[in-house]
């Protein structure tokens, strides 16, 4: 009996943890275009949660990541409402799971409509790896378009979409004289083909900017550019694959849809096929896999859709995905190659990472010559030796993984690897943290640490200094111009010397100096993030900025005050205290301020931690009838409160809507006040905590 209870609480804990992680990954992927994990890892987490929820229906709730698509939109663009909402697709791995999909659909039809269907007809299309959008055509004119966002509401990116050559500004009549419909919304994927992606990254690297990790990130990032001129300069393509809404015309099937759209001038999925059974679809799948290495664009699977729109209507949707379609994923791209050596890279925080130098091999159209081995424990676990033949895998990211060693091919001379005891850059003895697998160089003046810190300081999430990428940082460090961030802001005085450096033309120097000047007044959270304090990511930097309002106030803070902050645990607090307690890093900050860097403090009372809800940490759970989660969060923040994702001792109030999840149970256990929606409404209306 007791083990039963224990099992349940463990499952609850795991489900809550998975939900939190997936929410975070959704936000990183959809809202920030900056994913933290590979697609494969994301899918693994999602599947684990789906499995838990299907085995324990009490875990199901409408706010679970299994029931939602994407993340809430950012505010820089206007809203774009999707009607009907844009759904995602369920994934299948292996033929068995595709067959189960067909059986589920069959059962649903039999139970709901008493309809027995034996032979479904399918359309298969490549699953393009880009960014989903909706386009609206009114009276034949391209009127507007938006990103997917959270599925119901995305961002209005009309101006950026107008720059894509494939999107017609005006639809034409078909050859047979069929006019386009009065009103038409369609969905599709915006993507970069491999050629366009390669060229774009080449240009970026030349300009000293960080290359995009993969075509998908490049497409998503480009679409959400605030400056349409930048979008226009990049070779985006689009393929339409689904109908949103149509007025004044009727499509009978997906094949009818895919045949008709090009007649009006709209590009559709390339290489689609009609299949009379799943067996036929499996044959197409094999063909797609064969063509994958020579395909001009990235595909990560094949989408299978029931052809008949009548059937699609009858089957309908779950809250997340259609019952009439499934994405049959491709296996990750793997290849064999030889580990010719193992080198060590020193990162910004001094971590030494072993990296396998590989005999170059093409994996899915991209040449791979390096693969990360993460740390010594991983090297030992996989028993990777120099000279070994290994399986490497690229799962959508630039840095591939070593999956396993091919033991049968091991040569007698294969050498074991041990991470050096000294930093390969500055020769300081390395140290190993007790709790972590990482070995690090403890020398803050280590050349590698300095370079990487400068790169981080200038990176997009931090001070976003255009033109200050890897190459230029190296150049400035090598030539002795820069040793710490503050030196960057003194470059103005050394313009004459700078233009004499080889390959550093006058225009480039002036652009850099202008970018640096602008970067002096970046918002405080970016500045805090840019300092590269261990464990302080972009989100925490925002929290700290809002709470302390200035870098000076943050630098004076004590451990107890820090620990009271919801997002700060003991390890994080220690890291912040250590940073500001260290004479060297204090000097880095002081020198920046002396050099005229004046980050902009959060302006509104909410951000500065004032207002009737100031200092209160809220957690939302369940569905609120009156407002979306985003709106509830904004309302709390407007009154000075903050909203966290998980319930802990630091939570002050939990607001529970319909079908609350495990957060409610946890709040009750910790004796945290729980408000229903009425209490919440009253508190917002009266602007006080009841
Ligand atoms: S159909 C309701 N077809 O994959 C049907 N999606 O993992 C919605 N995708 O959100 C999608 N190629 O961004 C469909 N031929 C294709 C696709 C495709 C790529 C993307 C799309 C979707 C995601 C789901």
Q: Is residue 78 part of a domain?
A: no
Mutation test residue for ligand 1: of 93, 127, 309, 316, the one with most atoms within 8 Å of CB: 127
What CA–CA distances, in Å, run from 87 to 69, 187, 323, 432, 454? 7, 10, 11, 46, 41
Q: In this structure, what CATH number is given to the domain that contains residue 519?
A: 1.10.150.20
Q: Is residue 600 part of a domain?
A: no
| Same-domain check for residues 558 and 672 | no
The reply to whether ligand 1 has any atom less than 6 angstroms from the CB of 225 is no
**382: annotated active-site residue:** no
pLDDT of 142 over the 80 cut: yes
The reply to whether ligand 1 has any atom less than 6 angstroms from the CB of 89 is yes
What does the alpha-carbon distance between residue 666 and residue 672 come to, in Å, rounded to a whole number?
A: 9
pLDDT of 168 over the 70 cut: yes
| Same-domain check for residues 341 and 460 | no
Q: For the chain, what percent of residues have pLDDT higher than 90?
A: 47
> From ligand 1's centre to the CA of 156, what distance in Å?
19
| Same-domain check for residues 636 and 588 | no
Q: For the chain, what percent of residues have pLDDT higher than 70?
A: 92
| Same-domain check for residues 219 and 129 | yes
The reply to whether ligand 1 has any atom less than 6 angstroms from the CB of 271 is no
The reply to whether ligand 1 has any atom less than 6 angstroms from the CB of 90 is no
The reply to whether ligand 1 has any atom less than 6 angstroms from the CB of 127 is yes
Averaged pLDDT for residues 231-245: 92
Most confident listed range (205-219, 520-534, 637-651): 520-534
Place of tokens 């009154």: 639
Ligand 1 atom 14: residue of nearest CA: 241
Given 13, 51, 118, 127, the catalytic residue: 127
- Residue 364, pLDDT score: 63
Residue 354 near residue 379 (C-beta atoms within 8 A): yes
Both tokens assigned to 559:
């451990």
**379, 406, 432 — which closes off a domain?**
432
> From ligand 1's centre to the CA of 660, what distance in Å?
30
Name the pLDDT band for 2 (thresholds 50, 70, 90).
very low
Residues making up the chain, counted from first to last: 690
Q: Is residue 346 part of a domain?
A: yes
Strand pairing partners for 237? 191
pLDDT of 32 over the 50 cut: yes
When the pLDDT of each residue in the chain is averaged and rounded to a whole number, the result is 87
pLDDT of 398 over the 60 cut: no
- Residue 580, pLDDT score: 92
pLDDT of 275 over the 90 cut: yes
| Same-domain check for residues 399 and 520 | no
**Total of domains in the chain:** 5
How many C-beta neighbours within 10 Å does residue 386 have? 16
| Same-domain check for residues 385 and 522 | no
More confident residue, 396 or 467: 467
pLDDT of 261 over the 60 cut: yes
The reply to whether ligand 1 has any atom less than 6 angstroms from the CB of 189 is yes
> From ligand 1's centre to the CA of 511, what distance in Å?
41
Averaged pLDDT for residues 65-92: 79
- In what side-by-side order are the strands of the sheet with 642-644? 642-644, 617-621, 653-656, 674-675
> From ligand 1's centre to the CA of 234, what distance in Å?
23
Q: Is residue 77 part of a domain?
A: no
| Same-domain check for residues 492 and 633 | no
| Same-domain check for residues 341 and 256 | no
> From ligand 1's centre to the CA of 127, what distance in Å?
7
- Residue 642, pLDDT score: 85
The reply to whether ligand 1 has any atom less than 6 angstroms from the CB of 133 is no
How many C-beta neighbours within 10 Å does residue 543 have? 18
pTM above 0.85, yes or no: no
- Residue 31, pLDDT score: 55
Place of tokens 């299948």: 92
**300, 329, 358 — which closes off a domain?**
329
What does the alpha-carbon distance between residue 322 and residue 24 come to, in Å, rounded to a whole number?
A: 24
Mutation test residue for ligand 1: of 39, 189, 254, the one with most atoms within 8 Å of CB: 189
DSSP string, 424-488: TTT-PBPEE-SSSS-EE---TT-HHHHHHHHHHHHSTTTT--TT-SHHHHHHHHHTTS-SSHHHH
- Residue 606, pLDDT score: 44
Residue 652 near residue 640 (C-beta atoms within 8 A): no
Ligand 1 atom 22: residue of nearest CA: 88
| Same-domain check for residues 280 and 427 | no
pLDDT of 268 over the 90 cut: yes
In the DSSP assignment, the letter for residue 115 is -
Averaged pLDDT for residues 637-664: 85
- Residue 91, pLDDT score: 93
pLDDT of 353 over the 80 cut: yes
- Residue 614, pLDDT score: 83
Query: Closest ligand 1 atom, CA of 69?
Result: 10
The predicted-structure confidence for 550-563, as pLDDT tens digits, reads as follows 888 888 888 888 88
Name the pLDDT band for 141 (thresholds 50, 70, 90).
very high
The reply to whether ligand 1 has any atom less than 6 angstroms from the CB of 125 is yes
More confident residue, 587 or 435: 587
What does the alpha-carbon distance between residue 467 and residue 509 come to, in Å, rounded to a whole number?
A: 9
Query: Closest ligand 1 atom, CA of 242?
Result: 1
Both tokens assigned to 444:
């803050």
Query: Closest ligand 1 atom, CA of 321?
Result: 2
What does the alpha-carbon distance between residue 60 and residue 318 come to, in Å, rounded to a whole number?
A: 13
Most confident listed range (39-48, 229-238, 421-430, 625-634): 421-430
The reply to whether ligand 1 has any atom less than 6 angstroms from the CB of 303 is yes
The predicted-structure confidence for 295-343, as pLDDT tens digits, reads as follows 888 888 999 999 999 999 999 998 779 999 999 998 877 889 999 999 9
| Same-domain check for residues 405 and 274 | no
DSSP string, 67-80: T--S-PPPSSSPEE
More confident residue, 118 or 386: 386
Mutation test residue for ligand 1: of 303, 309, 325, the one with most atoms within 8 Å of CB: 303
Q: In this structure, what CATH number is given to the domain that contains residue 404?
A: 2.40.50.140
Query: Closest ligand 1 atom, CA of 325?
Result: 5
- Residue 322, pLDDT score: 95
Q: Is residue 601 part of a domain?
A: no
pLDDT of 689 over the 90 cut: no
- Per the structure, the complete domain to which residue 25 belongs is given by 9-68
- Residue 548, pLDDT score: 85
Phi, psi angles (nearest 5°) of residue 426: -120, 0
- Residue 30, pLDDT score: 62
Name the pLDDT band for 57 (thresholds 50, 70, 90).
confident
Q: In this structure, what CATH number is given to the domain that contains residue 325?
A: 3.30.470.30
> From ligand 1's centre to the CA of 331, what distance in Å?
18
**539, 564, 594 — which closes off a domain?**
594
Q: Is residue 83 part of a domain?
A: no
Q: Is residue 31 part of a domain?
A: yes
| Same-domain check for residues 388 and 478 | no
Q: Is residue 1 part of a domain?
A: no
Ligand 1 atom 13: residue of nearest CA: 132
Query: Closest ligand 1 atom, CA of 272?
Result: 15
Mutation test residue for ligand 1: of 132, 257, 313, 320, the one with most atoms within 8 Å of CB: 132
């Amino acid at each position: 009996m007791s083990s039963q209870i224990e099992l349940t609480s463990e499952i609850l804990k795991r489900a809550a943890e998975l939900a939190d992680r997936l929410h975070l990954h959704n936000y990183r992927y959809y809202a920030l275009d900056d994913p933290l994990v590979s697609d494969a890892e994301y899918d693994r987490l999602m599947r684990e949660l789906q499995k838990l929820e299907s085995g324990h229906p009490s875990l199901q709730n409408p706010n679970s990541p299994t029931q939602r698509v994407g993340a809430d939109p950012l505010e820089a663009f206007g809203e774009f409402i999707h009607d009907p909402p844009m759904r995602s697709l369920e994934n299948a791995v292996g033929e068995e799971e595709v067959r189960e999909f067909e059986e589920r659909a069959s059962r649903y039809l039999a139970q709901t409509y008493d309809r027995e269907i034996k032979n479904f007809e399918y359309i298969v299309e490549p699953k393009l790896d880009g960014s989903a959008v909706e386009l609206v055509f009114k009276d034949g004119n391209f009127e507007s378009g938006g990103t997917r966002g959270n599925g119901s509401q995305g961002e209005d990116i009309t101006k950026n979409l107008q720059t894509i050559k494939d999107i017609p500004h005006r639809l034409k009549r078909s050859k047979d004289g069929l006019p386009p419909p009065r009103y038409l919304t369609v969905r599709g994927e915006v993507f970069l083909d491999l050629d366009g992606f390669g060229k774009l990254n080449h240009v970026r690297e030349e300009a000293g900017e960080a290359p995009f990790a993969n075509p998908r990130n490049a497409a998503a990032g480009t679409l959400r550019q605030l400056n349409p001129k930048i979008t226009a300069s990049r070779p985006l393509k689009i393929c339409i694959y689904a109908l949103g809404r149509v007025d004044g015309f009727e499509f009978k099937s997906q094949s009818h849809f895919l045949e008709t759209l090009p007649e009006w001038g709209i590009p559709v999925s390339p290489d689609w096929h009609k299949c009379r059974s799943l067996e036929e679809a499996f044959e197409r799948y094999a063909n797609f896999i064969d063509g994958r290495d020579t395909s001009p664009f990235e595909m990560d699977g094949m989408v299978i859709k029931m052809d008949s729109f009548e059937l699609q209507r009858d089957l309908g949707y779950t809250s997340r995905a259609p019952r009439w379609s499934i994405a049959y994923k491709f296996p990750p791209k793997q290849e064999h190659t030889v580990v010719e050596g193992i080198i060590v890279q020193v990162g910004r925080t001094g971590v030494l990472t072993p990296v396998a130098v590989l005999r170059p091999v093409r994996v899915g159209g991209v040449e791979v010559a390096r693969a990360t081995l993460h740390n010594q424990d991983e090297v030992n676990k996989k028993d990777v030796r120099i000279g070994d033949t290994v399986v490497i895998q690229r799962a959508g990211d630039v840095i591939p993984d070593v999956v396993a060693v091919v033991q049968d091919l091991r040569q007698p001379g294969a050498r074991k690897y041990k991470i050096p005891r000294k930093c390969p850059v500055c020769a300081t003895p390395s140290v190993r943290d007790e709790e972590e697998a990482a070995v690090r160089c403890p020398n803050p003046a280590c050349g590698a640490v300095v370079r990487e810190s400068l790169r981080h300081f200038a990176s997009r999430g931090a001070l976003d200094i255009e033109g200050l990428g890897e190459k230029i940082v190296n150049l400035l460090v090598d030539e002795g111009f820069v040793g710490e961030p503050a030196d960057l802001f003194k470059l103005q005085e050394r313009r004459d010397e700078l233009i004499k450096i080889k390959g550093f033309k006058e225009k480039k120097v002036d652009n850099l100096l202008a970018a640096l000047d602008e970067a002096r007044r970046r918002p405080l959270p970016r500045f805090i993030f840019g300092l590269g304090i261990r464990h302080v990511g972009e989100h925490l930097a925002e929290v700290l900025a809002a709470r302390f309002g200035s870098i000076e106030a943050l630098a004076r803070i004590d451990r107890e005050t820090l620990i009271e902050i919801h997002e700060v645990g003991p390890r994080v607090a220690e890291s912040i205290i250590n940073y500001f307690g260290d004479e060297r890093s204090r000097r880095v900050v002081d020198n920046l301020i002396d050099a005229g860097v004046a980050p902009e403090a959060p302006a509104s009372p909410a951000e500065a931690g004032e207002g009737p809800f100031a200092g209160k940490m809220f957690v939302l759970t369940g569905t609120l009838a009156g407002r979306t989660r985003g709106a509830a969060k904004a309302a709390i923040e407007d009154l000075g409160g903050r909203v966290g994702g998980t319930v802990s001792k630091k939570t002050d109030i939990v607001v529970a809507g319909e079908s609350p999840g495990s957060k409610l149970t946890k709040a009750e256990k910790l004796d945290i006040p729980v408000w229903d929606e009425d209490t919440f409404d009253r508190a917002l209306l009266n602007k006080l905590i009841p």
